[in-house]
């Protein structure tokens, strides 16, 4: 019987190592074990990391980074962005046996170029970024099934990279090397700033006497997010889209009184929203002019 394309592209059962088994590394290691691979080694410095290895990756031996590379066919580099290049350079400089080893990092902002010092010694570089927040709780593993991974790799390794993501139950999304920083900018701006906006709204509602801000905000923000994802700019609503300059001026006055540090962000987002509404024909030019006068003031 001839193998199918999916079978040909599916990675063999791999011995997996994890360098940096924090919230992300321990979950991805567990996901790969669920897919039939074996996590054989992990590099864990802190007591918290060692506890995660013991709990989530019980068959892994705790070793130094070079020892993890020596023991594994696939090594997950799940360290903070700024620590990634020094880690890879250190492995290369100390003579770690990287030739033929798949090195997969999980940084969103880097492509596979950050692994160049190891690639030059024969390592096989992958960038596999899970588009998900990790809390360190057990449900993180189940959430992988509903998330995407930003995948960047040399073209010859693309089938392996995408197959690994599929095996973890997630959806691979191809990102070109030169677009990796832009990709991460989009994700961080959306997810991180969303948290700040929501917590700021909740704090203002609390100052307004609302006892349960989350109960008030939940349905509204859920609908707004759904509209934005399905409809794009057509999902806009509110005073900026309508050109209600006096209402917007009132908002700014309230922010100056109760949360002055948030005025610049409100004004900047209102300008951006007005521009999108104007381009979409949802905001009339005369109304836009009055609104922008308020925002400039």
**What DSSP line would sit under 212-230, residue for residue?**
-HHHHHHHHHHHHHHHHHH
Q: Is residue 218 over pLDDT 60?
A: yes
Q: What is the mean pLDDT of the chain?
A: 93
Distances from the Cα of 110 to the Cα of 155, 180, 192, 240, angstroms: 17, 6, 18, 36
CA distance 128 to 170: 11
CA distance 290 to 297: 11
The pLDDT score that the predictor gives to residue 3 is: 37
The pLDDT score that the predictor gives to residue 1 is: 35
CA distance 186 to 136: 24
72 close to 15: Cβ distance less than 8 angstroms:
yes
The share of the chain scoring above pLDDT 90, in percent, equals 86
pTM value? 0.86
Average pLDDT for 218-230:
96
Token representation of residue 215: 């109960």
Write out pLDDT tens, residues 36-46.
999 999 998 88
Average pLDDT for 123-141:
91
105 close to 127: Cβ distance less than 8 angstroms:
yes
The pLDDT score that the predictor gives to residue 239 is: 96
Q: Is residue 10 over pLDDT 90?
A: no
Q: Is residue 203 over pLDDT 50?
A: yes
Q: Is residue 209 over pLDDT 70?
A: yes
CA distance 187 to 132: 10
Domains in the chain: ranges and CATH: 5-175 (3.40.50.720), 183-296 (1.10.1040)
């Amino acid at each position: 019987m001839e193998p199918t394309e999916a079978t040909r592209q599916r990675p063999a059962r791999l011995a997996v190592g994890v360098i940096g088994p924090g919230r992300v590394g321990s979950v991805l290691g567990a996901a790969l074990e669920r897919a039939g691979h074996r996590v054989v080694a992990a590099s864990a410095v802190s007591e918290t990391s060692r506890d995660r290895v013991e709990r989530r990756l019980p068959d892994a031996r705790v070793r130094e980074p070079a020892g993890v590379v020596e023991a594994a066919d696939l090594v997950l580099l799940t360290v903070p962005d700024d620590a990634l290049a020094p880690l890879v350079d250190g492995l290369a400089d100390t003579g770690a046996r990287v030739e033929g080893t798949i090195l997969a990092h999980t940084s969103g902002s880097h492509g596979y170029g950050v692994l160049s010092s190891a690639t030059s010694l024969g390592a096989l570089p992958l960038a596999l970024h899970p588009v998900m927040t990790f809390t360190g709780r057990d449900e993180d593993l189940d959430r992988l099934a509903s998330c995407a991974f930003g995948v960047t790799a040399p073209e010859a390794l693309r089938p392996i990279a995408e197959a690994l993501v599929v095996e973890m139950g997630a959806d691979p999304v191809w990102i070109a090397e030169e677009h990796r920083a832009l990709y991460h900018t989009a994700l961080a701006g959306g997810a991180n700033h969303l948290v700040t906006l929501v917590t700021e709204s909740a704090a203002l509602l609390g100052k307004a006497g609302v006892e349960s801000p989350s109960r008030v905000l939940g349905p509204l923000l859920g609908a707004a997010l759904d509209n934005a994802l399905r409809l794009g700019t057509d999902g806009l609503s509110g005073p900026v889209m309508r050109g209600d300059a006096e209402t917007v001026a009132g908002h700014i006055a309230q922010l100056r009184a109760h949360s002055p540090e948030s005025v610049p962000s409100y004004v900047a987002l209102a300008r951006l929203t007005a521009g999108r509404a104007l381009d979409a024909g949802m905001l009339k030019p005369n109304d836009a002019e009055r609104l922008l006068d308020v925002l400039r003031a």
